[in-house]
Amino acid sequence: MSYSAAHWQRVSDETRRMVAEVPLYRDRPVPPVDTGALRAWLAQLPSVGKRELRKGFPKSLVRQDQDLHAAMRDESVTLLATSGTTADRLQVIWEWSWWDPQEREAMRLNARIAKSMRDASYREAVLTTPACGAGVCHFGSATMAERSVDGMLFLNESQDPSAWTDRDVERMLNEWIQFAPRGIEADPAYLAVIARAALKRGLALPPPEFITLTYETTTRAMRRDIGRAVSTPLFQLYGATEAGVLFMECEHGRLHPNERHSHIDLMPLPGSAPLARVLVTTLGRPWMPLLRYDVGDVVRVAETRVCACGLVSDGPVLERVEGRQSDCVTVNGETVTPLMLDDAIHLALGAAATMEQWQLEGDVLHVADPKSRESAAVAAEAVSNLLARPIRGEHVSAVAPEASGKYRLVKS
């Protein structure tokens, strides 16, 4: 990657302020004046993980000249819990006036989305865990109007999609039809449930101009079923509540960095595949700046930064987001990611696969497939080959999400 001189100057200015102002980074060496030496300086800094962010929160992350209580009183910031699985859950100092512009800017990296968003009648529906929908909670039975903010309709009201009743699902389908969103931002697992419900009922959903998938890893089965219900291009929007939107997928299937808002360092992982961990240094973020924060995900890096969409990215360009680092294993020196397991499962099941969900728990692969009981054994054999250990397939009626509302592909 080759970030521009202007980018490095920003990294220099911002990291200098972080080290001077933020208690968590106070013991870091002062960045070099020569921006040419910044890369080496960054590389020797310890990365920051979720544990470090939790320790001493929020004080350790507040800049010395900031008054958190005053900012919370005038509602310019709020303390928000992220929706991760228990071990991943974090509290975040969350600022709407930072989040919204950086998210929109990331979305506009995709030409099709940018065109949609330019239109005055642009409206968006959001389908995710209600706890993490843009800092607003929509638990309980609120009306459609109560779930609408700034042209955005939050479709979901309850935590666990496997507990959605027919009535819940039908309400969401009806609201989709009535609201006819131009864009949809969704958790892929949730959207797949809604898509299957629409297919089952023979409902024609008005297709939005784009769908962004975010919050969790998208499997092939999710993509397949969403695609059957609605003929709209699907794009990955990759970020985290605590770090902002880091990458946006373009119309040519590459994830481009949101580089005005973050500097990305990639830490290669063992094996022959171009896999890496993502370390983020935030840019232009007043509250809770991050310095080499390890998001905890594994990504597949694209061979080249040149992309057919024409967008020139100085930072790294990705092929896809592979899943949680904690869900990866190393087998004979090769890193195996959740999406590599997903690839192997779908390759074994073939194009006519009807499997909807899988979850690897220890040595058991749970497979939810309403049309076939045999697929569990076939999928387990594929996983077993990849992991080089015996895996037993078990047919289940559904895979439940964690208490947080997120699904896990791999559980130890």
Shortest reach from residue 250's CB to Zn ion, in Å = 3
The interface mask with Zn ion, positions 67-106, x = CB under 5 A, is ----------------------------------------
Q: How far is the CB of 298 from Zn ion (least distance, A)?
A: 21
CA distance 338 to 359: 10
Identify which of residues 170 and 314 has a Cβ nearer to Zn ion in the complex: 314
Q: What are phi and psi of 63, to 5 degrees?
A: -65, 150
CB neighbour class for 287 (10 Å; exposed up to 12, middle 13-18, buried from 19): buried
For the bound state, the minimum distance from the C-beta of residue 210 to Zn ion, rounded and expressed in Å, comes to 14
Q: Which string of x and - marks every residue 300-329 that binds Zn ion (by CB under 5 A)? A: -------x-x-x------------------
- As measured in angstroms, the least distance from the Cβ of 100 to Zn ion is 23
x/- binding map, residues 266-305, to Zn ion, per CB under 5 A? ----------------------------------------
Q: 250 vs 383, which CB is nearer to Zn ion?
A: 250
> Tokens in use for 349?
């099941």
Contacts (CB under 5 A) with Zn ion, residues 246-265: 250, 252, 254
The answer to whether 200 contacts Zn ion (rule: CB under 5 A) is no
Q: Is the CB of 197 or the CB of 311 nearer to Zn ion?
A: 311
Residue placing its CB nearer to Zn ion in the complex, 254 or 285: 254
Spatial distance between the Cα atoms of 409 and 401, rounded to a whole number of angstroms: 10
- Of the pair 151, 310, the CB lying nearest Zn ion is at 310
The number of residues in the chain equals 412
For Zn ion, which is the closer residue by CB, 254 or 406?
254
List phi, psi (to 5°) of 410: -130, 130
CB of 218 to Zn ion, least distance (A): 18
Torsion angle, alpha carbons of 234, 411, 354, 343, to 10: 60
Q: Count interface residues toward Zn ion (CB under 5 A).
A: 6
CB of 110 vs Zn ion, minimal distance in Å: 8
Q: State the minimum distance, in angstroms, from the CB of residue 204 to Zn ion.
A: 31
Q: Based on C-alpha coordinates, what's the Rg of the chain?
A: 21
Q: Give whichever of 112 and 123 is closer to Zn ion, judged by the CB atom.
A: 112
- Token digits of residue 15: 């990291």
345-349 long-range contacts (CB < 8 A, ≥24 apart) are 345/379, 345/382, 345/383, 346/220, 346/221, 347/382, 348/378, 348/379, 348/381, 348/382, 349/375, 349/378, 349/379
Residues 155, 147: contact at Cβ < 8 Å?
Answer: yes
Name the residues that contact Zn ion, by CB under 5 A: 250, 252, 254, 307, 309, 311
